[in-house]
A and B are shown apart, each in its own frame.
Chain A
Amino acid sequence: MTLADGIRAAQASGDLQPLIEAVPYFRWLKLRVERHGEELVTILPFQDMLIGNPMLPALHGGITGALLESAAMISLIGAMEKPKLPRIINITVDYLRPGRPLDCLATGLVTKQGRRVANVRALAWQGDREKLIATASAHFMMI
């Protein structure tokens, strides 16, 4: 099965987990995708190797950024019709709280889906959805 077939199947069924399995970096992070109502929530299960500050302890900030980028892309794929991987143009991550050594959840909100470019806001939290640990704004190339 090609990647495009996998994405097409995921978009048709609404289950994006096969896409995770097709991407080595997502598999390495053990990402899971769950559908919570209209939202696709990407879950990063905690692993000791994700720690960036052992004194607090806190997740590595790069990992929080990687999760937000991944969640933004996964939510975008779920919202678009073409069976292809959007390519990231840029991302700005705002760090609001240290990530604790717990599972981290994130979702992307597609704020604009144009013909060539999409804008996606992404949110990350742990436990309490109201206490975001980081947010991001990203652009993706759709062609």
Chain B
Amino acid sequence: MKFDLENMRALMSSGIPHMAEVGLELISMDDTGVVGRIPHRDEFIGDPESGVVHGGIVTVLLDSLSGMSVVPVLGGMAMTATLDLRIDYLRPAAPGEDLFAKVRCYKTTRNIAFTRGIAYQGDMDDPIAHATGSFMLTRTGNAGTQP
């Protein structure tokens, strides 16, 4: 399937159960990065006293967008499997606010894609988390043979 924002939105909302379940929305997606949002829900709270969301939901957002950031870079013609994902938590999330993230695939080799990105709420210059990932590629078309 050729990469297309509407196709990706449809795939996420109907084809990928966990992305649909958490309400992950794709805001934009091209080879300079992918931006998405998970609207706040009280079920995501990890600290009942402060109301701060659990790191797990931040991981779900960053893992999802990291894998998706590879798609437009390779023209949609590769499957990805996560090798590793590192997340640094830079500050506590503000309670009750939606989570946003922007991730970019900054390098691909024949077999591996490398990504980095941030999670934030409102202010991209004051992120709540930073992520770096690497992904094993299984190419499904002739992606990567072009210049």
Contacts and interface: CB of A to CB of B under 8 A. Distances in A.
Interface of A: 2-3, 22-29, 48-54, 59-63, 65-67, 69-70, 85, 87-95, 98
Interface size class of B (residues with CB under 8 A): 35 or more
A24 B43 contact: yes
Given A23-B48, A61-B63, A91-B55, A51 B17 contact: yes
B19 interface: yes
Nearest to A92: B86
21 contacts: A2-B49, A3-B47, A22-B48, A23-B47, A24-B42, A25-B45, A25-B53, A25-B56, A26-B54, A48-B17, A49-B20, A51-B17, A54-B15, A59-B18, A60-B18, A62-B64, A66-B57, A66-B60, A91-B55, A95-B83, A98-B81
Given A65-B56, A85-B47, A95-B82, 20 more contacts: A3-B47, A24-B42, A24-B45, A25-B46, A29-B56, A49-B18, A51-B17, A52-B16, A52-B17, A54-B16, A61-B82, A62-B18, A62-B61, A63-B60, A65-B87, A66-B56, A87-B89, A90-B87, A93-B84, A95-B84
Interface of B: 15-21, 42-49, 53-57, 59-64, 67, 81-89, 92
A66 B82 CA distance: 14
Given A23-B46, A62-B60, A93-B84, A50 B89 contact: no
Contacts of A63: 18, 56, 60
Contacts of B59: 62, 65-66, 69, 91, 93
Contacts, number: 122
A91 to B, nearest CB: 6
Contacts of B89: 87-90
A44 to B, nearest CB: 10
